[in-house]
Every structure is written in C-alpha cells, then in structure tokens.
Chain A
Amino acid sequence: MNIKKNLIVLISFPILILFFMMISNIILEGHAGLSWNYFVTEASHAGRSGGIAPIIVSTTIIVILTLLISTPFSFCSALILTLVISKNRYLLSLFEISLTLLSGLPSVVFGLFGSAFFGKTLGFGYSLISGALTLSCMVLPFYTKILHDNFKILPREYFLSGKALDLSLYQFAKNILIPLNLYAIAAGAIFSISRALGETAALIFTSGYVDRYPHSLLDSGRTLSIHIYDLALNIPGGDQAALKASFVFLLLSLTINFILSVVLKNTLLRGLQ
C-alpha cells in the first residue's frame, strides 16, 4: 500500500516542478536592468528598449472601464436573479445555464464578436472602449455568479423584512444588499481586474496594438499582455524586453490573484454576518 501511495505522490511532482521553473526563470532573467525609468518612459525601437509608460496608461484605462461597465451589469443581473427570477425554478436554471454557457466560450470568440459588434456595428473601431466592452462581456458571467452565490445564502428574513417594510428594489439594494456584500463585490471586482489584465486574444481585434499614449477613449492602445505577445512573436530580438515586461506582469498578477484568493475565502463567511 505504501508503494502505491508514494507512487501517487510522485506523479503530482512534474507539473509542480515545471511551475517553479517557470516562475524562477522569469524572475531571475526578467529583473535585470529594471529601474524606475522603465515605468516612466515611452517605448523605443518597437519596444526593444525604453519603457512601458503608455502601455501602463492604456492598461489602467481598460481595466477601470471594464470595472465601470461590468459592475452595474453584474450587480443588476444578480439582483434580478435573486429577487425575481428565483421564484421560478425553471427560469432560474435557464438563466444559470445561459451564464455557464457564456463563461465557457473562449476568449478568441469574444474577440471576434467584439470586433464585429462593438467595432463595426456600434462604430467604435479599434479603441479602448470596444476592448473594455468586450472584456465586460467576458467577465459578466463570473462576476454575476460570485454575487448571486453570495446573495442567495443571505437569511430569508432579510428579504421578508424588506418586503414587510415595502422597500423598493433600489432601497433594498442600496441599504441591505450592498453593505452586506461588500466582500463579494470586492471579490468580483478583483476577479474582473485579473481577467482584464491577463486577456490577450480578445483584445488584439478590439483595442489594437498601438504603443503610444491614447488620446481619448476612442483611441487604440495596447495592454501589457499584448505588449509581451507582440515583443515575443513579432519583433526579432525582443525576447529580453519581453521577459522584462513579463517580470513586471507576473508580480502584478500574482499580487492581484493572492488578494483575490484571500478575499474570496472571506466572501461566503462574511455574507452570513
């Protein structure tokens, strides 16, 4: 029996070793030549040298826009799901299936949809706003699910008291749901940030890859992930710069995801208090 156990423990190792190799490679080789200047100067020689300041600006704008669009959408969807649709079991499961289907679609399909719908039909073209709208569609199912899961475990008395006091939907949301679910909203928001930062395939067709400062929301701009993709694949001799950018990116995304996993652990518990 012990041999079996040891064998099973051994099988789990190779992938973990690869993980540590990846992290250590990127940290060891990416931090060379990193200085404050890197964050405040523009890229030169197509990104081979110079900094990433315009890219940080575009990334921040896209992330904030995504949050601004996806938060009200997801909150309202979760609210309607909990308060109205949950009375009808059939409709509720239909709605949940639709959300699960949406969450299973690959990012490249969202990219195609975004370029056709937001870019062409709505006329935004290659712009920060059409990128942010596409990303909002991508995070919508996850954000809604996090909120809905937290709303539905609230004690029934809260909803009954709300009914008894004849609170309107708006009053109920503002005075009861939002204060009780701050952790869940934070978790959803951080999840959206993490998704928006990591996304590449959906953004190359929607927000484009221009590496100067964006002048308006209708201007094209590249995010950090597209910068790395472009340096690694399209620009000869861009490997070192790509490693440098991915070092910054890795630290950023590990921090955000660490915060997310801590906050997520708290949401379901906090909701009950």
Chain B
Amino acid sequence: MFKTISYIFALIGFILPLLIIIYLFRESHEAINHFGIKKFLFDPSWYPNEGLVGLAAQINGSIAVAFLSILLAVPSSVSFVYTNEFLLPKKITFFNNLGIDTFSGIPSVIFGLWGLVKVVPYFAVNHPPGTSLLVGAIILGMMIFPGLVVGIRGLIQTFNQHYQFSSASLNLSSYSYFFKVFIPANIKGLTGVFLLQFGRSLGETMAVLMVTGNVSQNPDSLFSPIRTLTSNIALEMAYATGAHRSSLFMSGLILACVLLLLSLLAIFLRRDDHEY
C-alpha cells in the first residue's frame, strides 16, 4: 500500500514539468488557432482586443532587464565571494555567509515595494516618470546577488583540493589562486550559475512589475519604462477572457520553454567541470 502510494507520488513529481507544458499548450491552443504563431513574434504592438498580439517589445524588455541585472550583479558577487573567502578572517566569513543565506529568502514584494517607494522617486527627479529599465535592473540585481554568491561559493567548496595545495606550494597569492586558477578551471560551472540566475531574473514577476512602469514599448534608453513578459501576464490575467486569456497563456508557454532550455544548458555546463 505504502509502496504503491510512494510510486504514484514519485511519478507525479516526475511528470509535473511535462504536465505543466501540456497544460500551457492546451490553454494557448485557442490563441494559436485564432492568431497564428507568426503574429506573436511579428506584430508591431500588443492590443489583444484588436487582434494585435505582438510580444516582441515585451520579449525585448524581459531580456534587456535580465541582462542588465546580470551585468550589475556579477562583478560585485564575484568580488564579494573573493573578499569573503580569502581576505576576511574566518569568523567574519561565517557571519557573512549566514547573512547571505538569510537575505536570499527576502520575498520579492519587499524588494518591489522598496524600489517603488524609495528608488523610483530618486530617479523621477531627473528622468521622469522614474519607473524604468534601470530601476528594474537594480532591483533584480539585488535580488539575484545572494543566489550568485551562494552558487560561486558552492563551486569554491567543491573545487578539487589538489589545485589548492599545488597553488599553496607554489606560494601563489590568493589573488592569483582565485583569478588565475579557480576561475579558468570553473568557467563552465560559473556560466551555469550565471545562466540560472539570468533565468531567475527573466522569470521574476512582482518586483519588476512594481518598478518598471509597464508600458509596452521597445526599450530605447536606460530610463524608458518597459513591460516584461511576466508582468504582462500578471497584470492582464485578472480580467482577460477568450483569445486574450489564451494569448497570455501563449506568452507563459514561450517563457516556460526559454527557461527550460536555460536550465538544460546550465545542467550540461555544470556536468563536466575541472577539466582544466
């Protein structure tokens, strides 16, 4: 009895990703029939009630904000890990790690609220209305920072000790060890970590929705308001019906497929490390 139930539960866990894709596909079927898949990628703008369901601006917005957030967060996370692991005394490292683990769980609405109440007014002075691509990227960068630190730290801890001993016996400085030995040897693993966090940035909804302004247009400057795929779904799902609702499922399907591909890529990159 217990055995049967266990098998069933495990099976459900196993097929869940497939089930999600099938359901998204089933729900977006109506939109594909109604508009055709071409329209989603090539229509100029997003007015679903008038038959214009172009997602290009939102896809560009999503990619721009996620890419910018990675660009902001990667240098500081790498240098934070280096400082924390090699330069600071062990006791402080311990507390820093505890702090990072604690901060990694702060919910996204709190980031979003802080961005809306404090960061947006700051930018609104010189670049009204303030809600913009840049603020979104800053908030996202803060959100993925703990994840990046935990990922890179994990790579350091599992890195072959052999390299560490060899470096110590050659009297390499911590700087050389980290930047000349660790990073070149783990370039694939690091890329995997960055890709996963890039995916998290792409999929983040609430914080981005609250600070980017949600105007469906191509991002032409750092200070222009944008709308991402995720916030589009969250904003319009409440009142959407019929083909409009179905188009939202279609954008969810696109998002899910992109993120599945990113995860797969990250898995395969992580697989063969230390082949230096």
Measured CB to CB, the residues of A under 8 A from B are: 1, 4-5, 8-16, 18-19, 21-22, 25-26, 72-74, 76-77, 79-81, 85, 95, 97-113, 115-117, 137, 140-141, 144, 168-170, 173, 194, 197-201, 204-205, 225, 228-229, 232-233, 239, 242-243, 246, 249-250, 253-254, 256-258, 260-262, 264
Contacts and interface: CB of A to CB of B under 8 A. Distances in A.
B113 A242 contact: yes
15 contacts: A5-B175, A14-B76, A22-B118, A106-B203, A108-B234, A112-B237, A116-B26, A199-B107, A229-B206, A233-B210, A253-B105, A256-B105, A257-B101, A257-B106, A260-B105
* Most chain A Cβ neighbours within 10 Å, of B1, B14, B145, B173: B14
Main secondary structure of the interface of B (DSSP, over half): helix
Contact of A108 (B19, B107, B230, B260): B230
Interface in B138-192: 138, 141-142, 145, 173, 175
Contacts of A200: 107-109, 205-206
Contacts of B7: 80
A73 B9 contact: yes
Contacts of A140: 13, 16
A267 B150 CA distance: 17
A186 B87 CA distance: 34
B39 to A, nearest CB: 20
Contacts of B103: 19, 257
B13 A232 contact: no
Given A98-B14, A116-B249, A260-B101, A5 B138 contact: no
Interface size range of chain B in the complex: 35 or more
Nearest to B5: A76
A248 to B, nearest CB: 11
Contact of B27 (A100, A110, A116, A254): A116
B76 A11 contact: yes
Contact of A201 (B16, B116, B234, B264): B234
Contact of B209 (A80, A97, A109, A233): A233
B63 to A, nearest CB: 14
A266 B232 CA distance: 41
B23 interface: yes
B98 A104 contact: no
A95 B72 CA distance: 34
B252 A109 contact: yes
Contacts of A101: 17, 260, 263-264
Interface string B233-272: 1100110000000001100100110011011101100000
Given A101-B17, A112-B249, A169-B6, A15 B73 contact: yes
A250 B110 contact: yes
Contacts of B112: 229, 232
A253 B106 CA distance: 6
From B19, B106, B116, B173, name the one whose CB has the most chain A CB atoms within 10 angstroms. B106
Contacts of A257: 101-106
Interface stretch (B41-49, B51-59, B77-85, B215-223): B77-85
